[in-house]
Amino acid sequence: MPDIQVILADLGWPLAIAVAWLSGEFAHRWTRLPRISVYGLVGFLLAQAFPDALSSGASSNVTILANMAFGLILFEFGYRINLHWLRINPWIAVSGLVESAATFGVVYLISHLTGMPPLTSLLLASLAMSTSPAGVLRVINEEDSSGQVTERVLHLVAINSVVALFVFKVVVGFWVFQTSGSLTQAVSHSGIELLVSAAMGVVMGFIVPALLRRLGALAQDGTMAFALGVILLVAASRAFDVSPVLATLTFGLAARHKRVAFSRTERNFGGIGELLTVLLFVFAVSTLEWERVVDGAGLAAVLLLARFVVKTFSVAAFAHVGGISWRKGLLTGIALSPMSVFVTLLLEQTKYMGIVLVDELAALTAMTLLLEVIGPVITQRALIWANETPAKEER
């Protein structure tokens, strides 16, 4: 007789992806909820019911595929960022920096007042600054959203994610170097790592467009070439122990400014990109444990409310000087809710360094689960209320 446990271990991830995809399709058709919210909810329930079947280590194939899926989304996200617009309207960048700093300060203060150690509070605050590019972009693509709020949300997500990544790396670096107590060493190490990551993305952003032009096959082979570029970049980032997040984001940014056409039919990198996206959002919650969610639920609720209020009103405060109404400023801030995938993959990277923060960050576990399910819904509603989704009349 075959061992049921062995069979479940072999079929666990394929079955989980299939169940999550089917659930997402049916739920979206019946309720118009974002598919990724359903992927996350189904993934969490399956992970609690069959923990052994959905286990994944730092070097497992599933973890590597999840990083590649995130890399594909980050490339597309980076491609949509217009640096020229930020130069024309610097208030967008200012609002992003102020919003990130205010979120960091408030979350740090609340967590520190609850008795968390300073380093843990710093780490939690750095992650709370971020907004998940994957969650926001998937909702925007699914809703076919476009307009002032949509574009501002994309640019603000890029700003606060890069800031969060830098601060997170500094805090983790200081955690590693705390025996020497050298903050300067921690900052310089993190700065060098991020510079190398960005440089790798820029180099890839020049090589791939140049190769495509040389081959004369931009229209036919662009998707495949960019996808392979992302895969190589993620693999190289892991090999050299630098940030695949910043590398792939910079790759998309560099490709855009090389004026490479990335056509609408290639959005999400086609069917393979859609499949990897399901895996990514299921993976993001498969590492969470119900006990940790319960333990951190109280503090998580307070931190999420504080994060939501700070982000919303910080962005709205710069609405008029940035060229939009107060209402659209508020909706832009509201749309910055998702953060789960970004947080999960950053924490996975700390495991390579021997830092496991499960017990210390129980509140973050609860925040991650809640925003995995609720965050995309809030973003979707904000875009609909901003009248930037073609199907808003059907709702």
DSSP letters for 151-180: HHHHHHHHHHHHHHHHHHHHHHHHHHTTTT
The Cβ-side half-sphere exposure at 206, using a 13 Å CA radius, reads 5
- Residue 337's domain spans which residues? 59-386
The pLDDT of residue 292 is above 90: no
Is the predicted pLDDT of residue 38 greater than 90, yes or no?
yes
Q: Is residue 353 part of a domain?
A: yes
Would you say residue 3 has pLDDT above 70? no
Query: Is 267 part of any domain?
Result: yes
pLDDT value at residue 395 = 45
Beta-carbon contacts of 11 under 8 Å, excluding residues fewer than 6 positions away, are: 53
pTM greater than 0.85 (yes/no): yes
| CATH classification at residue 254 | 1.20.1530.20
> DSSP string spanning 262-298?
--GGGGGGHHHHHHHHHHHHHHHHHT--HHHHHHHHH
Of 375, 83, 40, nearest to 253 by C-alpha is 83
Query: Is the residue at 2 inside a domain?
Result: no
The 10s digit of each residue's pLDDT in 122-178 is 888 998 998 989 889 999 988 888 889 999 999 999 999 889 988 888 887 777 666
Establish how many alpha carbons lie within 13 A of residue 129's alpha carbon, considering only the half-sphere containing its beta carbon: 26
Q: What pLDDT does residue 331 have?
A: 94
Within a domain: 319: yes
Residue 151 pLDDT: 92
From CA 200, how far away is CA 233, in angstroms rounded?
7
Residue bearing tokens 């180099």: 203
Residue 19 lies in a domain: no
Say if CB 50 and CB 12 are below 8 A apart.
Answer: yes
Average pLDDT over residues 213-218: 68
Label residue 237 exposed, middle or buried (CB < 10 Å: 0-12, 13-18, 19+): buried
Helices (H) and strands (E) in the chain, counts: 17, 0
Instruction: Give the pLDDT confidence score for residue 215 in this predicted structure.
Output: 75
Question: Is position 8 within any domain?
Answer: no
Q: Is residue 31 part of a domain?
A: no
340 in any annotated domain: yes
Number of domains into which the chain is organized:
1
When pLDDT is averaged across residues 250-265 and rounded to a whole number, the result is 70
Tell me the Ramachandran region of residue 90: left when phi exceeds 0, alpha when psi lies from -120 to 50, beta otherwise: alpha
